[in-house]
Amino acid sequence: MSRIGKQPVVLPKGVSVTLSADKIVVKGPKGLLERSQHPLITIKEESGKLLLDRDSDHPKARAAHGLMRALTFNMVRGVTEGFERKLEINGVGYKAEVSGSKMTLNLGFSHPILFELPNDVSAKVEKNVITLTSINKESVGHVAAKLRSFRPPEPYKGKGVKYMEERIKRKVGKAAG
Residues 108 and 139 placed together within one structural domain of the fold: yes
- What is the pLDDT at residue 21? 84
In a domain, residue 169? The reply is no
Strand 160-163 vs strand 83-90: parallel, antiparallel, or unpaired? antiparallel
Residues 76 and 87 placed together within one structural domain of the fold: no
Task: Please state, in angstroms and rounded to a whole number, the distance separating the CA atoms of residues 117 and 101.
Answer: 5
Residues 23 and 55 placed together within one structural domain of the fold: yes
Enclosing domain of residue 35: 9-80
In a domain, residue 175? The reply is no
Residues 98 and 125 placed together within one structural domain of the fold: yes
- What is the pLDDT at residue 1? 55
- What is the pLDDT at residue 115? 96
Instruction: Tell me the pTM.
Output: 0.89
Residues of the chain with pLDDT under 50: none
In a domain, residue 1? The reply is no
- What is the pLDDT at residue 174? 83
Domain count, the chain: 2
* pLDDT tens-digit series, residues 90-134: 999 999 999 999 999 999 999 999 999 999 999 999 999 999 999
User: Please, are residues 86 and 143 in contact by the beta-carbon 8 Å criterion?
Assistant: no
Task: Please state, in angstroms and rounded to a whole number, the distance separating the CA atoms of residues 171 and 10.
Answer: 46
- What is the pLDDT at residue 2? 64
Residues 100 and 154 placed together within one structural domain of the fold: yes
- CB neighbours (10 Å) of residue 9? 24
- What is the pLDDT at residue 152? 96
Residues 16 and 88 placed together within one structural domain of the fold: no
- What is the pLDDT at residue 5? 85
In a domain, residue 99? The reply is yes
Residues 137 and 65 placed together within one structural domain of the fold: no
- What is the pLDDT at residue 173? 83
String of b and e for 86-100 (b: at least 16 CB within 10 Å)? ebbbbbeebebebee
C-alpha to C-alpha distances, 75 to 4, 69, 106, nearest whole angstrom: 16, 10, 34
